[in-house]
Amino acid sequence: MTSNIAETVRIDLADRSYDIVIGENLLGQAVTYQNLPKASAALIVSNTTVAPLYEAALKQALAGHYKTIHTLHLPDGEAHKDWVTLNQIFDALLGHACDRKTVLFALGGGVVGDMTGFAAASFMRGVPFVQVPTTLLAQVDSSVGGKTAINHPMGKNMIGAFYQPQRVVCDLSVLKTLPPREVSAGLAEIIKYGPIADMPFFEWIDGHIDDLRACEPKAMAHAVRKSCEIKAYVVGQDEREAGLRAILNFGHTFGHAIEAGLGYGEWLHGEAVGCGMVMAAHLSEAMGLIDAAFVQRLTNLLDRAGLPTKGPVLNANDNAGQYLALMLHDKKSVAGDIQFVLIEGPGKARVSKAPEAMVRAVIDRCCA
């Protein structure tokens, strides 16, 4: 590795282990992609926003590794994370007569990464792929751990597969082109790691939130590395979310309901998760697990990160009922019971059901 590669974080999954490579100016360096599976062809999957910015550099970096490099530009946005768009990837693979050794490169945010990973898991029953995330949220969460999926109108990420990439390339330089709203959305997933697993990290985020919003290089490098380290540990213990990994969904049960209820893309995923964390924290307080002071501190931090802390009204007649109906379709629901990730104490989380009346009261309290 050359000096431009700052650090690596290892995802330890036996024969499916891989590295998350974190540093500045990685995306366009040929050395970044050494020792990947050999193939005659690669397919770069990107979107109409990211491709003009970074595709040429990635294609040049891959030129020495693959004889042929195909490209595909998907429409941008969560609203396009569906069967129709996924099929464009299969059309490209089949149209170019790609084989089972063809390597897919996901160049974009979480939507591109999830769909490219799902396509890689499905095409010819599995081809290798590499994550090259270009949003903060994707670098610290969705690109790591092998969750791939598309949305269904009744639920987010309901159709997909666990399928690990060969490598994740987190080029911190690309974060400089993100609009402030996207940075804030990524900060939600960074903040998430503190209450569920690492309160010293939470304290650090609290003290550096302004630097993170400004994408200050040293602060951002630490936040991305630490987030990846926490997720790497959790995924290494529980790859398929049979137990521990479920805590990474803190805020997501409420958040996914917001996304589905408003229509995918109306709120960014990180915005919905940030608001969902506030709601989950209030539910944790109602269950007697944390005090009001911690709920307020978390709420204040999310607000300082530029995230919404009041949930939207999804149904004027029965808002709580609409939330509950949507949450029943969440992947974490078991035998008709909605499962929530609750804060059992600062830095510790658990998955639990909660009384419906209590959930309704929290929704009523937390929605604008």
- Is the pLDDT assigned to residue 1 strictly greater than 80? no
Q: 299-335 pLDDT, tens per residue?
A: 999 999 999 999 999 999 999 999 999 999 876 676 6
The helix (run of H) or strand (run of E) holding residue 107 is: strand 103-108
Handedness of CA 198, 200, 202, 205 (dihedral sign): negative
**CA nearest neighbour of 18 among 216, 225, 165:** 165
The answer to whether 89 touches 72, Cβ cutoff 8 Å, is yes
Q: CB within 8 A of 193, min separation 6: which ones?
A: 201, 202, 226, 227, 230, 231
Q: What's the rounded mean pLDDT across residues 40-61?
A: 98
Q: 109-151 pLDDT, tens per residue?
A: 999 999 999 999 999 999 999 999 999 999 999 999 999 999 9
Instruction: Share the mean pLDDT of the chain.
Output: 95
The amino acid occupying position 309 is: T
CA end-to-end span of the chain: 51
Delineate the domains of the chain, giving CATH numbers in brackets.
5-177 (3.40.50.1970), 180-366 (1.20.1090.10)
* Catalytic machinery residues: 125, 147, 189, 231, 241, 245, 249, 252, 256, 269
Q: 63-115 pLDDT, tens per residue?
A: 999 999 999 999 999 999 999 999 999 999 999 999 999 999 999 999 999 99
DSSP-assigned states of every residue in 54-99: HHHHHHHHHTTT-SEEEEEEEPPSGGG-SHHHHHHHHHHHHHTT--
Please give the Cα distance from 146 to 126 (Å, whole number): 13
SS3 label, residue 273: helix
Please give the Cα distance from 232 to 252 (Å, whole number): 19
Q: Looking at the whole model, is its pTM more than 0.75?
A: yes
Q: What's the rounded mean pLDDT across residues 249-277?
A: 96
The helix (run of H) or strand (run of E) holding residue 20 is: strand 18-23
The two counts, helices (H) then strands (E), for the chain are 12, 11
Q: What's the rounded mean pLDDT across residues 241-265?
A: 93
Q: CB within 8 A of 314, min separation 6: which ones?
A: 257, 258, 261, 262, 322, 323, 326
